[in-house]
C-alpha cells in the first residue's frame, strides 16, 4: 500500500476531528488487506452528559489502491437516559464535511455554519440544522435545513446587541464567533450595571438571534430536548 494513500486518509481524519493515532494501526491493516470497503469505530465525550459513537466507512477506488473516507454514522446517547439515542449519517465530499464535534452539536439541536457544494459543484455557505420532525425518503436520516447567507442572519451584529464582556476584546470576540459557527454552546459573561453573570449562548439562525441560558437551565433544557426528540423519532 502506497504511503501517500495512508497519509491522505490520516490527514482527512485529522481535519474532520477524528484524530489519527487511534486509527493508525487498524487503518493500515485494513488498507493493506485490500477489501473493497471497511469500517472503523470510535467514540467521544464532548461534555459530561453524553457520548457520541461513530462508525466510519471507507471505500477503495475502482481499479486503484486508493481509499476514500466516504461517510460516518454518528450516534448520540446520554448515560442518564439509556433508552434515548439519536443517529444521523454524515457524508464526506472530497475530504470535506461535518466534523465529529459538529455532528454532536447538530444532534443536540444546534446549528453549524458550513462551506458547502451543490450538485453543480458550485460553492456556497449556509447554516445547517437537523429537522427532528422530518425524515429523508429512506427514513434513515433527519432532513437538514439550510439558512444561506441571503437569509440575512448576521451573527456578529446580533451578538453586539447584547452586553457580553468577551466582545470588548477582539481576540475573545473572534474566538466566540468561530466557536458559535461550529455549533458550540459557548460560555460568556453578561455585564449588567456592576453585576456579572455567567451564561451559555448558541447561534440561532432560524430566528436570527442567539439562544441564552444559565448552567442550571442548560441542563433542564437538555433534559426536555431529549424527551421532545424521543417523541419525534
Distance CA 186, CA 204 (A): 13
- Band the pLDDT of 219: cuts 50, 70, 90: low
pLDDT for the residue 81: 80
Question: Which tens digits make up the pLDDT trace of 41-73?
Answer: 999 999 888 999 999 999 998 877 889 999 999
Nearest residue to 97 (alpha-carbon basis) of 75, 55, 128, 140: 128
Find out whether 204 and 111 touch, Cβ atoms under 8 Å.
yes
Strands across the sheet containing 209-213: 186-192, 195-204, 209-213
d(CA 75, CA 87): 4
Give tens-digit pLDDT for 112-127: 999 999 888 899 999 9
Amino acid at each position: 500500500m502506497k504511503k501517500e494513500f495512508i497519509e491522505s486518509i490520516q490527514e482527512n481524519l485529522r481535519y474532520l476531528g477524528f484524530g489519527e493515532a487511534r486509527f493508525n494501526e487498524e487503518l493500515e491493516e485494513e488498507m493493506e488487506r485490500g477489501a473493497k470497503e471497511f469500517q472503523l469505530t470510535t467514540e467521544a465525550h464532548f461534555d459530561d452528559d453524553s457520548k457520541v459513537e461513530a462508525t466510519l466507512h471507507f471505500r477503495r477506488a475502482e481499479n486503484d489502491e486508493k481509499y476514500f473516507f466516504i461517510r460516518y454514522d454518528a450516534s448520540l446517547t446520554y448515560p442518564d437516559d439509556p433508552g434515548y439515542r439519536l443517529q444521523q449519517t454524515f457524508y464526506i465530499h472530497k475530504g470535506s464535511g461535518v466534523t465529529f464535534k459538529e455532528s454532536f452539536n447538530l444532534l443536540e439541536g444546534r446549528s453549524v455554519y458550513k462551506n458547502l457544494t451543490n450538485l453543480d459543484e458550485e460553492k456556497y455557505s449556509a447554516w445547517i440544522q437537523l429537522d427532528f420532525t422530518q425524515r429523508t425518503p429512506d427514513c434513515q436520516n433527519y432532513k437538514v435545513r439550510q439558512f444561506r447567507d441571503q437569509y440575512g442572519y448576521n451573527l456578529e451584529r446580533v451578538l453586539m446587541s447584547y452586553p457580553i464582556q468577551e466582545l470588548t476584546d477582539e481576540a475573545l470576540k473572534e474566538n466566540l464567533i468561530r466557536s458559535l459557527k461550529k455549533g458550540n454552546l459557548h460560555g460568556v459573561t453578561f455585564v449588567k450595571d456592576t453585576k456579572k453573570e455567567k451564561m451559555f449562548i448558541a447561534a440561532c439562525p432560524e430566528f436570527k438571534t442567539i439562544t441564552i441560558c444559565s448552567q442550571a437551565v442548560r441542563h433542564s433544557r437538555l433534559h426536555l430536548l431529549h424527551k421532545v426528540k424521543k417523541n419525534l423519532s
